[in-house]
Amino acid sequence: MKILAHCKKAIPSREAGGKVIIIDVVISSTSGPLLEAELLMDVGMILIGKGQQRDENKWCDLFKKAGFSDYKTVKKLGIRGIFEVYP
C-alpha cells in the first residue's frame, strides 16, 4: 500500500493521463482450467515472500486504501491480470 500511495503522489491527474499499470496474478472467484496454477502461485507467495495473491476485490480494497479513485482490470496473459489504476 505504501508503494501505491507514493505512486499516486508521483503521477499527474487522470485528466492529464496519469495512471499506474500493475501486472500480477489475480485469483479468480470461479473454478476453471487455471485455478490450480493460481492457487499454487498463492502458496508460493506465502512460503517465499510472506505475501499472498489477491482476488479482484482485495486489489480494489488495496487501491482505495492507497487513495486511488478508480481502476480498470483487463485480464489477459493467462493467470495474470493487467490493472490500470487512476488517481
* Confidence check: pLDDT of 18 > 90: yes
pLDDT reported for residue 21: 94
Q: What is the pTM of this model?
A: 0.71
For residues 18 and 45, the model is more confident at 18
What is the C-alpha separation between 30 and 15, in angstroms, rounded? 35
Query: Nearest-CA neighbor of 42 among 57, 33, 53?
Result: 53
Q: Which tens digits make up the pLDDT trace of 19-78? A: 999 988 777 666 666 666 666 766 766 667 666 667 788 889 999 999 999 999 887 676
Q: Are 76 and 82 in contact (CB under 8 A)?
A: yes
- The helix/strand/coil state of 58 is helix
Record the cell numbers describing residue 34, joined without a space: 487455471
pLDDT reported for residue 38: 67
**Which residue matches cell numbers 517465499?**
48
Mean pLDDT across 81-85: 91
pLDDT reported for residue 74: 81
For residues 57 and 84, the model is more confident at 84
